[in-house]
Amino acid sequence: MPRYLSLVRIDEAAAPAEGPSEELMRRMGELIEQMTKAGVLLDTAGLTPTAQGTRVRWEDGKTSVTDGPFTETKEVVGGYALMQCKDMAEAVEWTKRFLKVHEDHWTVTCEVREIAEG
């Protein structure tokens, strides 16, 4: 069965400063439990803010290292879910359910991509 990666993209500047509400975290926990019981969720996690990150770039045969925050970036990867689904349609449906646990003031985009095997 194919695996899919859902990259959770957020605008750090627009995200609530206090982070996710207790209610959002409760709903997220319920969804994670449902996905685990369904045998779909292989792994998931949120990521620390870009201020705590480092970018390593390869260009023209040289590496460069830049410490966060990355102010030139509006949308960043804030988390991920690794899922095993029968097809892309199922992976998208689970991703829609993930998005719907967020309150209306959140702006979250998920990019769902199949993992290339072999």
Domain ranges within the chain, ordered by starting residue? 3-114
Instruction: Examine the pLDDT at 75 and tell me if it is beyond 90.
Output: no
User: From CA 87, how far away is CA 27, in angstroms rounded?
Assistant: 25
For 3-114, CATH gives 3.30.70.1060
User: From CA 20, how far away is CA 43, in angstroms rounded?
Assistant: 20
Out of 48-52, 53-57, 92-96, pick the least confident: 48-52
Instruction: Examine the pLDDT at 73 and tell me if it is beyond 80.
Output: no
- Of the pLDDT bands very low, low, confident and very high (cuts 50, 70, 90), residue 118 is confident
Instruction: Examine the pLDDT at 36 and tell me if it is beyond 80.
Output: yes
Mean pLDDT across the chain: 93
Instruction: Examine the pLDDT at 68 and tell me if it is beyond 90.
Output: no
Looking at residue 95, what is its pLDDT?
98
Q: Which pair of tokens denotes residue 65?
A: 């290292």
pTM: 0.88
Q: What is the CA radius of gyration of the chain?
A: 16
Number of neighbours of residue 41 by Cβ within 10 angstroms: 19
